[in-house]
Amino acid sequence: MAASSKPRVLIIGCTGYIGRFITNASIRLGYPTYLLVRPEVASDVDKAAMVIGFKSAGATLGSVTDEKKLVEALKLVDIVICSIAEKNLNDQVKLIQAIKQVGTIKRFLPSEFGMDPGLMDHAIAPGNKVFMDKMKIRRAIEAAQIPHTYVSANCFAGYFLSGIAQFGRFFPPRDTAVVYGEGNAKVIWVDENDVGTFVLKAAEDPRTLNTSVYIRPPKNILSLNEVLQLWEKKIGKTLEKHTLLEEEFMSMISNEKASLPERAALAHFYQIFYRGDLMFEIGPDGRDTGELYPDVSYTTVDAYLDRYL
């Protein structure tokens, strides 16, 4: 790999949903990029092809087989970004221990990238479990005195904007749309490629050391009603809208016939679209990407929706 003045970045979870975008951003922005993958990735055709693509683009690959291998990998890098799946969050405890042992990591970004768990102690079950798990990891990081940055990326466009928040849909509505409550809660919609860009910028920024970073593209802070209106203008048609009252939505969350992951996802929808939990005044220990990186271009909600015309 060619010499670079940029810090060396290790990404764990490169084949995961958001991990692949972070990895692409790291390579695209010229960071010496190291990837640790599990041996079983080789038996997954799609993930194996993805990893080969990263290697062809310039990433250095390594395999996680034991703690010794992990420590050896950590000694090669400056920054560690973890983007493992929510079900595996507790695996980061061993990673934190290894980072502490090595003692040379300049920044650790744990697997978060959604809503800020530090502000979600009021979250309802079963959606609250992931926030509690992430807070356990935060406490372990801080107890180990590891330099860190927490990143809140709000709503991934692929999950939320592709279907304009129509639960379970990944294409915008053409005839009817559900509106949650009054539909006026402000939501922050973020393209996953932009998540990757902002994560890498925050990872080496001295201003973000030991803080929480909130990805808030100014033009993408829009309510559900505003996004639906934007979509209606694009397709030249007024959608038939159905209001889903809060009590009706709560009954969906409590429906034990639904799977636990579905109920957890519904609980997160509730926090976002009924309670408006994405919008708050950022405190002194937080940073807004809109203020940190005003010159970074990003995909607007308007531009993102054009792909569905």
| Residues with active-site annotation | 134
Tokens of 251: 């009954």
Distances (CA, A) of 152 to 134, 198, 281: 12, 10, 14
Answer for the pair 146, 100: CB distance below 8 angstroms, yes or no: yes
- Within 8 A by CB and 6+ apart from 100, the residues are 144, 146
Phi, psi torsion values for 180, nearest 5 degrees? -85, 110
Tokens of 261: 């992951």
Q: Order of strands, edge to edge, in the sheet holding 9-12?
A: 60-63, 33-37, 9-12, 79-82, 107-109
Name the E strands within the chain: 9-12, 33-37, 60-63, 79-82, 107-109, 149-152, 155-156, 176-180, 186-190, 211-214, 221-223, 240-244, 286-288
Classify residue 46 by burial, with Cβ atoms within 10 Å: 0-12, 13-18, 19+: exposed
Q: Do you find a cis peptide bond into 261, omega within 30 degrees of 0?
A: no
Angle between the N-to-C axes of helices 260-269 and 246-253, in degrees from 0 to 180, rounded to the nearest 10: 150
Find, among 79, 74, 85, 88, the residue nearest to 36 by Cα. 74
Answer for the pair 299, 306: CB distance below 8 angstroms, yes or no: no
Q: What share of residues in the chain are helix, strand, coil (percent, to 5)?
A: 45, 15, 35
